[in-house]
Amino acid sequence: MRELYPAIEPYRQGLLPVSDLHTIYFEESGNPHGKPVIILHGGPGGESQPIYRQYFDPHLWRIVQFDQRGCGKSTPHAELAENTTWHLVEDIETLRKHLNIDRWVISGGSWGSTLTLAYSQTYPDRCLALILRGIFMLRPKELAWFYQEGAGYIFPEAWEQYVDLIPIEERHDMIAAYYRRLLSDDPQERSLAAQTWSIWEASTSTLIADLQLIQRFGSDKFAEAFARLECHYFVNKGFFHSENQLLDNLDRIRHIPTTIVQGRYDMVCPMFTAWELHQAFPEADFIIVPDAGHSMTEVGIRSALIEAGDRLMQSVATFQTSP
């Protein structure tokens, strides 16, 4: 099993206005002259983490991270206006141009895998390679599995806390019920809904419960952005034209070297989604981690992601540095 690369600090941090309303936080670490990789965080509404820098060799990679609209150090916090998949796709492209990067590797897990697919299908000529983890394509059956039925059979104690907040007569549509509370004028109702929603995901993200993760997801500021933005994207069906849009547009990226890493016992983004992507995209390397859930910090997933980055660097001579 591969260990993380040593912890490092960013050599550059900045704020980039992407609209009259939104400003995104970004940072760079590793080698300023290295092969560029951008790491897309999950959620929607999560935030980039320092540990992400440790998945790529800092001597060889120019590592770019940013907080998506409305979360982390980006402003305004938890803002839903002008916040869609396609706004985020354009933010990634705006950041690429701002950093004067020609082409880069895109790495993303969970919602980050959704955004990686959406960006690469929109700007395939700007992608050197893709690393996907914990595949999520925001289709109705995926949302139903985690928020309506399915995962609760595996984590009944966590599920009970998640559903108890919602009256029985509203439980036929849990996402809509939470969304109403997350938009409430009552700050206490909003906060309780956000924390409960976020703790449900943290409680199911690892094969063995991670109490520190649960505590972080349950903190007021993180939960507010995480829950509001996730619900916002989910009730709007990811702002996709059709539920299979990402599968239907795979022809645009078949030529891009791609690695898919999936934990066998992922409850948040279940195995069937990764399997369907694999069947539709056989050109990609497909790695099933047999003893892992959803989190990128689980040993097998961590090792597979680090190895994927190392393999790309070893074959870097095959990449063209300009489109």
Residue 251 CA to residue 310 CA, distance in Å, equals 26
Give whole-number Cα distances, 2 to 149, 303, 305, in Å: 35, 5, 9
Residue 174 CA to residue 178 CA, distance in Å, equals 6
Q: How many CB atoms lie within 10 A of CB 104?
A: 20
Give whole-number Cα distances, 38 to 33, 241, 283, 293, in Å: 14, 26, 22, 23
- 61-66 sheet: strands from edge to edge: 12-17, 23-30, 61-66, 35-40, 104-110, 127-135, 258-263, 285-289
| Active-site annotation, residues | 110, 266, 294
Within the chain, where are the H helices? 85-98, 111-122, 140-147, 156-164, 174-182, 187-204, 211-217, 220-235, 245-248, 271-280, 299-314
3-state secondary structure of 130: strand
Q: How many CB atoms lie within 10 A of CB 148?
A: 17
